[in-house]
Amino acid sequence: MARKTKFVDSDILIIGGGFGGCGAAYESRYWGRDLKIVLVEKANIERSGAVAQGLSAINCYMGMQWGENQPEDFVRYARGDLMGLVREDLVYDIARHVHSTVHLFEEWGLPILKNPQTGRYLREGKWQIMIHGESYKPIVAEAARKSATEVYNRIMVTHLVMDSKRPNRIAGAVGFNVRNGDFYVFRAKAVIVGAGGGSHIYRPRSVGEGMGRTWYAPWSTASAYDLLIPTGAKMTQMENKIVLTRFKDGYGPVGAWFLLLKAHATNAAGEFYEKDRYPEIKARVGHYVDIQPMPTCLRNHAMLEEIKAGKGPIYMHTQKVLDTKEKEEIGWEDFLDMTIGQAVVWAAQNIDPKEKPSELITSEPYIMGSHATCSGAWASGPEDCAPADYQWGYNRMTTVEGLFGAGDTIGGSAHKFSAGSFVEGRLAAKAAVRYVMDHKAEPPQVDDEHIKRLQEVVFKPMENYRVGRNEIVAGTVAPSYINPLQGLQRLEKIMDEYVGGVSMFYVTSENLLNRGLELLEMLTEDFEHIGAEDLHQLQRAWELQHRILTAESVTRHTLFRQETRWPGYYYRADHPKLDDADWHVFTGSQYDPKTGEWKMSKLPVHRIIPGFELLKT
């Protein structure tokens, strides 16, 4: 079928209008008054990305003006939570800039709760402040809309495009309009990817009609990683998947309950199990168990061991803390601002949190670079504080020239959350503007033949369907193609059973991982025969492809790191202990698009902030 092809030229192309992308649009305009800034988004930036439904807290805020915390404290915290492995230059860079961003949000109309006694922002915990955040995303999107020269909503970006004349240099991206099928070619001098992390790579606990109910947004399809990997960009820490303790089935957040309302979790017998598990955890991970607060993964681990010992369910004792009307409101609003589904689960299961405790459970794994874990691209750090090993050009530029990232895209620096991802978009954009200024006389070179081939590739699933549909045996069963849902379910099963999902209690091993890779290879082959009956299914097909390549990267990194650094996130049963002698390193990978081979490497961990003496023992 003939489709319109539209060319869009820009100085800076931003892919994904979530928190990183919106921050990038805002800051690009500030430094690049005359530049053409284009933002492209597969949904509508008004309500897209992980924050689409709203949030009840900003999880990264220092409070420096009140002497609450300093950026150095935040680095120590992130380092401790990740069991020693964070890019301290990147974490520090975000921590020192996050204030101005949060204050901008307030200026733009975001209601931030105040402590009536002190007049300061109301703290949920040491790093978190409470917001009335139902409209958080539209507020931030408005700033991006006003800053960008053009915003293209409803365009799914499928591939990045490399410069045809200059090796290892970005030139743009291609994608299609999910509503009318137009093919888009974006040419740009610099590209910033903010396309978000990945859900539904692992089989969720809820399957069948419930499978859309996951913690992470089901529309977050790992494009941040898949777009980068085929360019040969170096990736890091892809094995550092996140598993969250949440209210069971509704995935309601636990932060406000633990930190603000001071609720406690116990096993079914009412026992505080974490302290009983201390000796066993110490034997596994050594002194890391003594970090305060205890690293997130270790708290997951204690809970999982308790459940395996038959001492579950684990309960959050909401009924013990809701002793005032105000606290009860906070409890409900926490869900209504960001996870309405949890309130629905309570209603459906006759749970009044004032009367009864609620079950907690660990989620299926997700791949993210901005929450409590740090998968993503290996990026150049800030000039003033990044060690030489971490610096090869512009801040937040990947190992591909002119290709920048923000939020979930950038690896090695966890705990950015919403405000930190916006900050990282700003930092990347400031550097990208400088990159464009420095390379003014070098417009992107795009090969027409390559673009034509990409167009055929992008629409091939529709062609597969058109040719094969008459052979349908029954319902959706067809001999010559699989549909995107079938492919997704196969991917989730492979990752769950071989790469440490919930059905395996997050356990994997070299043999399991190698078998998982064989099965992923077969799935990759079968993707050539995926069928899409309409544009919606075409989007699903490309989302699946983005998940498959990301899954392969996760599997290869998990195989490479021969230790169990983060029990509670995943376990290498063949290397059950943490091994600082050999593995106090970041993992790195580079995919070679010409040969299809992956090169794995160890990347150094440098301390730039003193403290955390525990590591020296």
Ligand X SMILES: Cc1cc2nc3c(=O)[nH]c(=O)nc-3n(C[C@H](O)[C@H](O)[C@H](O)COP(=O)(O)OP(=O)(O)OC[C@H]3O[C@@H](n4cnc5c(N)ncnc54)[C@H](O)[C@@H]3O)c2cc1C
Q: What residues are annotated to the active site?
A: 59, 124, 215, 246, 334, 371, 418
Interface with ligand X includes 148 (CB under 6 A)? Answer: no
Interface with ligand X includes 205 (CB under 6 A)? Answer: no
Q: Which of 526, 561, 571, 558 is nearest to 545 (CA)?
A: 526
Name residue, tokens 């993210």: 368
Binding range to ligand X, per CB under 6 A, among 64-72, 181-189, 191-199, 520-528: 191-199
d(CA 354, CA 352): 5
Q: Which residues contact 494 (CB under 8 A, 6 or more apart)?
A: 516, 519, 520, 523, 551
Instruction: Using the CB atoms, write b or e for 197-230: b if 16+ within 10 Å.
Output: bbbbbbbbbeeeeebebbbbbebbbbbbbbbbbe
Which position among 8, 37, 39, 43 is part of the footprint of ligand X (CB under 6 A)? 43
Question: Helix (H, G, I), strand (E, B), or coil: what is residue 331?
Answer: helix
Q: Which of 378, 370, 374 is nearest to 601 (CA)?
A: 378
Interface with ligand X includes 21 (CB under 6 A)? Answer: yes
Q: Kindly state the smallest distance separating residue 257's Cβ from ligand X, in Å.
A: 13
Whose Cβ is closer to ligand X: residue 42's or residue 79's? Answer: 42
Which helix (H) or strand (E) covers residue 193, if one does?
A: strand 183-193
Contact 494, 523 (CB under 8 A): yes
Task: Please state, as a whole number, how many other Cβ atoms lie within 10 Å of the Cβ of residue 388.
Answer: 7
Interface with ligand X includes 414 (CB under 6 A)? Answer: no
Interface characters, 359-388, with ligand X (x: CB under 6 A): -----------xx-----------------
Interface with ligand X includes 42 (CB under 6 A)? Answer: yes
Interface with ligand X includes 15 (CB under 6 A)? Answer: yes
Q: Which of residues 208-237 bind ligand X (CB under 6 A)?
A: 215-217, 220-221, 223
Q: Say how many residues make up the chain.
A: 617
Interface with ligand X includes 19 (CB under 6 A)? Answer: yes
Beta bridge partners of 190: 12
Whose Cβ is closer to ligand X: residue 17's or residue 484's? Answer: 17
* End-to-end Cα distance, the chain: 66
Whose Cβ is closer to ligand X: residue 29's or residue 426's? Answer: 426
Count of residues in contact with ligand X, rule CB under 6 A: 39
Interface with ligand X includes 421 (CB under 6 A)? Answer: yes
Q: Which of residues 262-321 bind ligand X (CB under 6 A)?
A: none
Q: Is the peptide bond before 313 cis (omega within 30 degrees of 0)?
A: yes
Q: Could you give the C-alpha distances from 136 to 11, 50, 560, in angstroms and in order? A: 28, 11, 39
Q: What is the separation of C-alpha 104 from the centre of its chain, rounded to a whole number of angstroms?
A: 24
Q: Kindly state the smallest distance separating residue 195's Cβ from ligand X, in Å.
A: 4
Interface with ligand X includes 202 (CB under 6 A)? Answer: no
Q: Kindly state the smallest distance separating residue 320's Cβ from ligand X, in Å.
A: 23
Which helix (H) or strand (E) covers residue 290, if one does?
A: none
Q: Kindly state the smallest distance separating residue 131's Cβ from ligand X, in Å.
A: 8
Q: Which of 573, 580, 545, 546 is nearest to 558 (CA)?
A: 573
Question: Helix (H, G, I), strand (E, B), or coil: what is residue 58?
Answer: strand
The residue nearest ligand X at its CB is 18
Which position among 11, 41, 364, 552 is part of the footprint of ligand X (CB under 6 A)? 41
Task: Please state, as a whole number, how many other Cβ atoms lie within 10 Å of the Cβ of residue 594.
Answer: 6
Tokens of 440: 């003014």
Q: For 608, which DSSP code? A: -
d(CA 417, CA 51): 10
Which position among 121, 184, 335, 417 is part of the footprint of ligand X (CB under 6 A)? 417
Q: Kindly state the smallest distance separating residue 469's Cβ from ligand X, in Å.
A: 26
Beta strand pairing status for 403-405 and 183-193?
parallel
Whose Cβ is closer to ligand X: residue 75's or residue 102's? Answer: 102
Interface with ligand X includes 59 (CB under 6 A)? Answer: yes
Q: Kindly state the smallest distance separating residue 264's Cβ from ligand X, in Å.
A: 21
Q: Kindly state the smallest distance separating residue 371's Cβ from ligand X, in Å.
A: 5
Q: Kindly state the smallest distance separating residue 353's Cβ from ligand X, in Å.
A: 19
Q: Which of 593, 547, 516 is nearest to 233 (CA)?
A: 593
Binding range to ligand X, per CB under 6 A, among 189-197, 379-387, 457-465, 605-613: 189-197
Which position among 13, 75, 91, 157 is part of the footprint of ligand X (CB under 6 A)? 157
Whose Cβ is closer to ligand X: residue 221's or residue 358's? Answer: 221
Interface with ligand X includes 196 (CB under 6 A)? Answer: yes
d(CA 584, CA 105): 37
Interface with ligand X includes 82 (CB under 6 A)? Answer: no
Q: What is the separation of C-alpha 276 from the centre of its chain, rounded to a whole number of angstroms?
A: 33
Which position among 13, 37, 38, 57 is part of the footprint of ligand X (CB under 6 A)? 57
Q: Which of 174, 79, 100, 155 is nearest to 415 (CA)?
A: 79
Helix 417-438 to helix 19-31 angle (10° resolution) is 40
Binding range to ligand X, per CB under 6 A, among 17-25, 96-104, 489-497, 562-570: 17-25
Which position among 8, 12, 18, 400 is part of the footprint of ligand X (CB under 6 A)? 18
Whose Cβ is closer to ligand X: residue 84's or residue 407's? Answer: 407
Whose Cβ is closer to ligand X: residue 371's or residue 556's? Answer: 371
Q: Could you give the C-alpha distances from 451 to 173, 311, 492, in angstroms and in order? A: 10, 58, 32
Interface with ligand X includes 156 (CB under 6 A)? Answer: yes
Name residue, tokens 């291609």: 174
Tokens of 344: 């629905």
Binding range to ligand X, per CB under 6 A, among 67-75, 194-202, 436-444, 604-612: 194-202
Tokens of 235: 């990736």
Whose Cβ is closer to ligand X: residue 266's or residue 421's? Answer: 421
Interface with ligand X includes 194 (CB under 6 A)? Answer: yes
Which position among 48, 362, 509, 537 is part of the footprint of ligand X (CB under 6 A)? 48
Whose Cβ is closer to ligand X: residue 15's or residue 351's? Answer: 15
Whose Cβ is closer to ligand X: residue 425's or residue 500's? Answer: 425
Which position among 84, 365, 407, 567 is part of the footprint of ligand X (CB under 6 A)? 407
Interface with ligand X includes 195 (CB under 6 A)? Answer: yes
Tell me which residues touch ligand X (CB under 6 A): 15-21, 40-43, 48-51, 55, 57-59, 156-157, 194-196, 215-217, 220-221, 223, 370-371, 407-408, 416-419, 421
